[in-house]
Structure 1
Amino acid sequence: MKLKKVTKLGLGICAFALASTLFVKGNVKADITEGVPLKVGKHVKATLSKTGVLTISGKGEMWEDVDDTAEYYNKWFNNKKSDIYKIVIKDGVTSIGRRAFYQLESVQSVSIPKSVKSIEAHAFRMTKALRKVKIPNSVKNIGVQAFYESGIAKCTFGKNVREIDNFAFAHCNNLRSVSIPSNVKEVGQGAFLESGVSKVKIGRKDAFPVVKATIYSKKVLIGENAFAEGSVLKAYKGSSADEYAKLNDLYIRYIK
């Protein structure tokens, strides 16, 4: 009998500890309600107006959805995904959490303050009505698939962006050209894969060290001496990248 009581007590403590851990990490699903603040970070809250304006305010980071076994949707705003038209993030919020605004299909504009330092994975994924975004100078990292399959046609990068992660802007069909800031150190695999991008401008000389780079775009604008001597480019024969490689005495291999 005592053993049973101890076992039940132990299970109860474990369940409480697990629930507390999940809450701290932000894995608890809670639907947004108009006019009622919803906690989306330790010191961050979300408020939805009757006119469809979603305001994120407070201090510090938004929580991240770290449970990859869960259904792939936004856990806070999914119930209102067709009714949110504008996102306003207030100064003081330092990160846009993983999947924060995932699949908010009606969002047309977003305001990101200078306090935000990172945009996490899938943050704006499938925001199909979003047409432009301005990333402030404070942002250093843009996460995996952050804007994957969004509707953006224009993205202005802040000058201090260091990393554009894998597939960050993949399948953004409306996006035609991008200008990579001079401080970018890494552009991940497929960052602009299957997007509408046909022009890429790299912001400074010697932007990359000796590298092997594959350039799928047939019309790409590359800054003078962007790739160091000894780099190997793989591109389509007759493309602007092919011409660039020849003019700068770089090795060129052709995509078949």
Structure 2
Amino acid sequence: MTEGNDKKDLASVVLVHGQVAVLRISMEASSAVPLEILSPSNIEILTWAITGFSGDRSACPCCLLVLRPLHSDFLGDFSSISVRTHIHDRTFRLHAEPALLTAGEILVLTRAVIAAIEPRNAGSLQLLLPVIAPALDAICLETDERQLTRPDSRTGTVVASGLDFVPFSLIARAAAGYVCEFIQSAKVRTGPEVKIAMTLRAPVDVGGADTVLLVGNGRHAAARIIEAA
């Protein structure tokens, strides 16, 4: 038997939004990295975030798991969940009452979600964008000197400056809320100021938004929207 299999700890469902759920599991003093869901077998981990190991000492160390079903039925009727970590397997008993995310947890979860977005999981993770919108608003203020031309409404072309990585997606607040669109092509222009010319897979109407988030390879950066020259 793998160490920890016979130990049952509590887990709480803190959010269910469409076909995505966020589960909070206790980490005790261990920062074990979650690898996969062993049981129920119809659920996969989209991303995860660990909180409570620094800052507020009153916070309980825990891991937030973002989950989705591999088949049509989500979560279903089960009372426990088994997680494989890089240390050992652990089984958690689901708490009967739903819990709430703290403001700090939402911010940590938001950074994990936007870092994990890629074509294979975007449809699921985008369901969380309305929930994490306040945290996205805060992250979008961290623009520094980065700029992005307003997306062309017909061609979807944009030009970014001040970036030190090539993004593959853009998250912006549109009229109906935050949306994510992928970048179809990108070309780096060298010179006194490095610029990246990109074409979005589909045009995005950012409305009156002042900033956007550019995401790629686990990184993200906010950029101020400027009008194209």
Give the TM-score, by structure 1 length. 0.27
- Structure scoring higher RCO (CA < 8 A, sep ≥ 6) equals 2
Q: Give 1 or 2 for the bigger CA radius of gyration.
A: 1
Which protein has the bigger strand share?
Answer: 2
